[in-house]
Structure 1
Amino acid sequence: MGEMPFLTRMRGRRSGLSDPASPPPSANAAPLSREDKLAIIEDLEERGLAWFWATDAQGHVTYLSPRIAASAGVAVDDLIGRPLTAVLTPVGQGGEAPSLALKLAARKSFAGFTVQVGEGGRTLVLRLSGRPVSDAAGAFLGFRGSGINVTDAFLGEQEAARQARSDALTGLANRYRMEQVIDATLLAFGASRRACALMMLDLDRFKHVNDTLGHAAGDKLLVEVARRIESVVGSRGEIGRLGGDEFQVLLPDLDDRGQLGDLARKIITMLSQPFALEEGRCSIGTSVGIAIAPYDGVGRDELTRAADLALYAAKHNGRGQFRFYAVDLEAEDRLRRQMEEDLAAAIEAGHIRVEYQPVVALADNRVCALQLQYVWHDPERGRVSADTFMPVAEASRLVTRIGRDGLRQACRDAAQWPAGLRLVVPVSPVQFTDRQFLDDVEAALDESGLDPQRLQIEVGEDLYRNDHDEVERIVSALFRRGVRLSLDQFGSGYVSLSYLRRAPFCTIKLGQSFFESTITDTLGDLEMVQAIVELAKVLRLETVAAGVGSMALLEALRGRGITHAQGFVFSEALAAEEVAAQLAADDWQLEPVRDGAQRAGRRTVFRRVGLIHQDHYYEVTLRNLSRTGAMIEGLEDVPVGTQFVLDFGGGQLAVATVVRTDGDTQGLEFESALVDDGAGGLCTRHRVSPYALAVAGAPVAALGAGPSLIAGGEKGGGSPACFTLSARAPRAGDAQS
């Protein structure tokens, strides 16, 4: 059937279309004839202001306005005889085609259905109305109807909706969209008992970019940040920008904390690389907080709050790090705030003391330098190491005061040392970029009379994430003053080889994290170390390995050309009085000790944990912990080969085998290695799911900090216990450490 104008098609048959309203009567006006009325309708059709359609009693198309078909790139002849519901398809999810089919089957009038027609990228969106038509005897003949082209309005609505869900600057999902996605995901995953992870990201030093390069540069930077996050996450999750420099990543079906930690590290590394903007080169960083549903929260508010707490902990642990949520983070936050108050008081009271760790020349084991370290002697806490309080000092900027006082005291001490012994002073980025830093150095040198050549300022490579020009200005001023400079954390990627070639550094240091894979029983691959040593030789730089804790590692580094080392294998940090006693001898040499490996390779923890054997639950003391095993005490005469499940609490269970035993002390080897928890500690890769606990009758809720599960035996019946608790086992009244 060819194209047939609507006028011809309708002439002589019952219309099914209402007559248009007539104008008020007038003496000179006559009513329009049927032909004139249909001519008006035909004109509307040809001009595309309205379109018309008709079906037979079976719902097959018998007429469709030629113009609307042509606009959609479809030949009318290809549409005639096809079901209307196949020609006009639904718009959006869920669609309206099923409703249209029901209306056609019900033979009732309808209006306002949005459909689309077209192919080859020329799709039109139409608003459809129709009514049933019958003959004089009442027999159903089919449908006739009309419609309007609403494509432009529909696309405008879609764009407005997209903008309402998207961040206008980056194109990522906005806060509203992320809330919707998280709600929908948690609802669906709760029903199917699946897990998902939520990452919260906050950029470091973004305000500095805005202040120095301008807000336009800041906007461009945010766009580049979004692209880099997308390149790491890919299709694994939904990424959103919540506003400012806050981002969020939702990762469905991912609760493996090893994989999540790796992903967080990749994001941190990617965002730590310099950005080249039109306004200039800049470097930032990011911190990441991670929470996992249902372990850390079941609803959106609970999960988001958990991720926020983890992010806050990551930022106050030194920035550029990730952190998993843990139940004790809230208490940790309170302790951190209290520590900040106490630290400020300790500075005023003079409770922050200086100590010095020897730096040894590996050629002859002579001490050639002493590195300044800080220790806090607190009346209640006792001796507090710098690893514990310096992150708090950094976050609160108290580090500037600590560093200023420490520099002056250290220069006074060093002035009393032999002329060949250098003082190494590590300086944080916060202290280094403080406007008074150069004056502080000058004052310390003048007051002590120390030769500037004996003072060596040590900065981390991450310092260059700040204003590069300002850093170079300070470095140049120190060099002109005669102060030596060393570069710590070499290999992070912030300092180019071309800059290193012209910069006035005398030493590069490889930190303990650089050797992380080598401080266990196997040395791992040290080829990268040798490459750096060769580079240092070309640049005429000394190389220092820090954190060396084993004889095996020391010998491997010595064999690859490292010139200097420091760490437990030689000596702990010494008080000024101990240094003076050592210097009383003419020649200070240190021989490496073989017990340094244990101190560096394991974490000493001393806390209560659960131990499950058969249907018994024992409480023992965890003494040492590593990725692959632990040492426990509290059970008598456990034979080698015994299998336990170690309960760290908070849903963390680890299957372990006894590999050595001595009285009430056992060495355990884990079936699956632990992973980094982002806070310098270790955690299990997986946890007991609240969904699994729900099978046993527990409510689906976030995990608490207590035991993951309670077996029988000493916790409530069962067969006789296989092992006896020793006198050193924790008791019910003992405080939990």
Structure 2
Amino acid sequence: MDAPEGSDWAQVHGHQYALLKERMGVRAALHVLGFLLAAAMLYSAVPLPLLGVWGMALLFAVGLSARADRRLGDADTRSISLDEIKTHATTSAAKGAMWGVGMILSALVADPAATVLVWSIAAMMVLASSASRFGASLSSISFTLAVGAGGLLAALIAGQFILATVVLLSTLMSVFGVIESARVAVAVRLTESAMQEKSEVVSMLLREFEEGKADWLWQIDTRRRLKSVSPRFAFALGQESTQVEGQSFLQLISGNGWKTGRFPQSLHELAERLKRKENFSNLLVKVSIDGQDRWWELSGTPIIDEFGNYHGFRGVGSDVTEQRESSEKIEYLARYDTLTHLPNRRMLNEALGEALQYAAQWRSRCAFMMIDLDRFKAINDSLGHLVGDRMLAEVAARLKSLMTDDEVCGRLGGDEFAVVIRDAAKRDRIENLAREIIERLSEPYEIENHVLYVGASVGSALGPRDGRTVEELLRNADLALYRAKDEGGGTHREYEPSLHANAEERRQLEHSLRHALERDELVLHYQPVVDARTEGVVSFEALIRWNSAEHGFVSPGKFVPLAEDTRLIVPIGTWVMQQACREAAAHWPANVRVNVNVSPEQLLEPDFVATVVRALSESRLDPKRLEIEVTESIFLRDASVARKALEECMAIGCSIALDDFGTGYSSLGYLRKLKFSTIKVDRTFVQGAAQQSPESIAIIRAVVAMADSLGMTTTAEGVENEEEAAMIRGLNCTKIQGFHFGRPMPASDVRAILSRQAEEWRLKSA
């Protein structure tokens, strides 16, 4: 009688009671037939008037039950009441009671065998009521219990105790059987109801999908011809629905390739998936619509009926041409230097990795050459960055003209360039190319009516002799370049094991760095980040400084990479997190955040999140005031671990900033996978934009537009004067950071600035 959880009682059982009307006549006829059989057996033993009275009473009970069945014929279209259910169960019990009267009558006036015969007929009625799917469980139980009670009493009156036992057990088993069948029936009805509801929801979603979205549905038959073409899909094909209905899907999207037989590889892959009747998802396909190349993202699944017969394919698709073009542009910017249009550090690393694999496979040699311009800084400082950038572009053009098909040159950054030689089997090629580079780059440059001269120093390393990994070759070529620079420049030096003198210095630094925390040699400085519009301080970036007792002041650019390489960055980073949170909570107003840089090594620590929580709880700093800054390098090792750690930090209220965006391994995939709060535009783009570099300005605008659409803020780094600040405001960056608004400063200076700012606000308010 209880309603199943989450459902309506009447709705669940109404369908079952509506079925009673369909077999109302059959049930009545069965009872009449049963009575006739019983009357024939009892005719000689029971007085005829008594037999007639029993028959009339039974037929009256059957009539009442049939009337109740008829009233519930529309139970599946309305809400039936509990009283109706009880009434129907009562009429069923009345029928059962009449059969019980018949058995008692046979026991009183006839011989014991007659009781058994009448019970067998009544048992047949019980079986029919229990097994029929056109019955109601509560009514069947009522009928069974009434028949069982009458049969048990009759058996006891006749002194047939074995029969009484059989009647009792049969009744109980029938009742339990009805209960179990009812449970199964209810479960089936609940499942059917849920499936119907889901089907309605799916149909509704599909309608909304077709009517309100930019995507579309597609369907083909076994011959790959379009069917049920929607208006949106027809629009994507550039035709009307009636025009494309029944046409070949592949022919429509292949354009002229259908005649020439030259198809894009992605179209071959789509055809192969359709041929093999395989599911596919987010398959990027190059199509031709009205002679124009487009990119579609398709998903599809084969249509298989319940007998395993294949009827075609259906799926969804969308036009992603604009997204792909944007991705290709950003991917180009991520792999090529915007100033020189040469491969950047990332692409050079990949080329060197491939060269090492080639050398290992064919037992040959490869080489890596690092090039640094001599006296370039003087030109940059005296004539400005614009002239310096034009010179770098000219240097790139000269380098490119010296390369063969077996060599790749690129820009590492600043005035550093590099060359990857895939096959360095001829040793003299390295020496000859280095000499050509030095001579060619030392020739005069005519820029802005100036005749300028720079030199070049070259360091090289051979793989796999001088290193079996990209990192080893980079390091050893860099050591060789340092030697060439130390000798005055304008020369080429190959790597030699003796160059590891610098490694000894590094070892000594590492030893001192391991004791820097316990000796209290580390200190935090803070650089302000201001609102681009109001120039009010919104946060401070915590920057670590090291004043070593043995080595003096050590540049962060020197000891931070060392700390990351030796994993000392983990305890140092924990200390930075604790100190920064403690300072912000104790001395800064509630509207000022603290930005803390986090190394990839820290994110890979299992207890990183616990470290953040501990720093927040000990300092009592509101998590919303802590912004964790990471670079794209966090995704290069174990991206899933880093992503999980950052998501857990976001869950407790911290925000995440992506630092140096655009200078390393920039990818839109990172922004899709993780909800950053801020994107920091690297200073190189800011400086480039200040020099009116179209590429830098375009990149900043693209980053700002992308951040705005994703609900993120932007911070421009490296702003050094008012003109640059005004330019950044014009490009709609949200926040600004740079020497123009403050250099990194001790905590005491930060407190003074915040106190002065609070006093100014107080006076303005007054």
Short-chain TM bin: 0.3 to 0.5
Name the one with the larger strand percent: 1
Larger relative contact order (Cα-Cα within 8 Å, sequence gap ≥ 6)? 1
Larger proportion of helix: 2
TM-score (norm 2): 0.39
TM-score normalized by the length of structure 1: 0.40
